[in-house]
Amino acid sequence: MTTRTPDPSRRDVLKKGAAVGAATVFSSLGHSGVWAAGSDKPEKEEVKIGFIPLTDCASVVMASVLGFDKKYGVTIVPSKEASWAGVRDKLVSGELDMAHVLYGLVYGVHLGTAGPKKDMAVLMNLNNNGQAFTLSKALADKGAVDGPSLAKHIAANPREYTFAGTFPTGTHAMWMHYWLASFGINPLSGAKLITVPPPQMVANMRVGNMDGFCVGEPWNHRAIMDGIGITANTTQDLWKDHPEKVLGTSADFVKKYPNTTRAVMMAVLEASKWIDAGLQNKMKMAETVAQKAYINTGVDAINQRILGRYQNGLGKTWDDPNHMKFFNDGLVNFPFLSDGMWFLTQHKRWGLMKTHPDYLAVAKQVNQVDLYRSVASAMGISVPKDPMRSSKLIDGKVWDGKDPAKYADSFAIKA
């Protein structure tokens, strides 16, 4: 019988610990000396990262659970938070080092339109797609099952209609505004928009506090499972491969702890790649994040939609190729400047800002494109050449970042 000799590279890594891999990556980032010798050692080895109980917190959680953080010389401490306002306050005060956070929240803090003003940083995207618009079963029973039928119902049955997002400048609030407006419903005068933390959406709909909401999974699917809501649209119907959550921190943290920042980005990138690598990994991820310490729900509320298996709660089922993605060969994670600028155009559109900002300048301040490029390149992850991208949204309008002020002013329904 022949005994297999482990190859030396594998044996060395096992012997010396995975820090070797980190040393190589760090030195390839252009730092002098070896990471283990101290020059590129993470300045802060324990990093507290806030998250909200949502499926898209998965790359942060899995980076910690699978030990990718240790490989790069840091320990990620995931911290479960109750609301996005709480995440904002803790990022501003420094109680949290980083967070799984709403794209628009980071921009809102940077410009002072979402409470206290502080210079912020988007390190990378955590996911594309995978949120949805849920309408109450009561509305669906009256025929309001999608955007057009909702608009018709509201016109024929005037009363105050209430819809929920998760944070005033955040993604879900912007998706909800955009979605309603696309079907001729003015979200400022024709509906009332309220803010509800993601894990409380289903309970609030159950007691009749709202007619609809936009939130991340698993709470849309949970509403269907509990028989209280239906899926009218997904957010990927609104904008295919849209930006969603980001890994966010303060600009101060990046300046003070550059090596730590890189190490965390590497760990989360590796986890993102791991999740998207196959069915088995996705199922393992679903089982992990469903646990009480993270999302605290049944795994069956999570595992269907992360595989693209959708149902609307009214008997329709479909396979969606544009389901929640965490890596997609690195395309998910690149912090496109145009993505950040889009949220600013919507903040201006809905009156959260009185004047046009310098859209591109703000995006260049916040989105750490050069830092991301250096980290991704060192890991052999492909990086888009152009920091701008073009997309057609649900109303047929094309967003490419070329003339943001003109784009923001071009909507018929606006503040």
Question: Using one digit for the tens of pLDDT, what is the confidence trace for 238-264?
Answer: 999 999 999 999 999 999 999 999 999
Band (pLDDT 50/70/90 cuts) for residue 406 is: very high
Residue where the block lists tokens 């609307």:
312
350 has a pLDDT exceeding 70: yes
* Amino acid 26: pLDDT: 44
| Cβ contact 216:165 at 8 Å | no
* Mean pLDDT lowest among 1-10, 161-170, 376-385, 386-395: 1-10
pLDDT in tens, 22-31: 444 444 443 3
* Mean pLDDT lowest among 13-22, 115-124, 333-342, 356-365: 13-22
Pairing of strands 75-80, 46-51: parallel
- Using DSSP's 3-state secondary structure scheme, residue 297 falls into coil
Pairing of strands 391-392, 131-136: unpaired
Q: Please provide the DSSP assignment of 133-171 as one string.
A: EEEEHHHHHTT--SHHHHHHHHHHS-S--EEEESSTTSH
pTM here?
0.92
Instruction: State the amino acid at position 2 in one-letter form.
Output: T
CA distance 358 to 238: 26
* Amino acid 260: pLDDT: 98
* Amino acid 319: pLDDT: 98
* Amino acid 32: pLDDT: 31
The mean per-residue pLDDT over the stretch 222-237 comes to 98
* Amino acid 276: pLDDT: 98
* Amino acid 196: pLDDT: 97
Band (pLDDT 50/70/90 cuts) for residue 20 is: very low
Band (pLDDT 50/70/90 cuts) for residue 399 is: very high
Band (pLDDT 50/70/90 cuts) for residue 38 is: low
Residue where the block lists tokens 């002020």:
405
* Amino acid 28: pLDDT: 42
* 242: Cα separation from own chain's centroid: 9
List for the chain the helix, strand, coil content (%; round to 5). 45, 15, 40
* Amino acid 113: pLDDT: 96
Let me know how long the chain is. 415
* Amino acid 154: pLDDT: 98
**Cβ contacts of 16 within 8 Å, gap of 6 or more:** none
Pick 81 or 27 by higher pLDDT.
81
* Amino acid 29: pLDDT: 43
pLDDT in tens, 56-68: 999 999 999 999 9
CA distance 375 to 381: 9
The CA–CA distances, whole Å, from 20 to 38, 142, 305 equal 13, 62, 37
Residue where the block lists tokens 């499972």:
225
| Cβ contact 271:62 at 8 Å | yes
339 has a pLDDT exceeding 50: yes
Give the tokens for residue 303.
């595992």
Mean pLDDT of the chain: 92
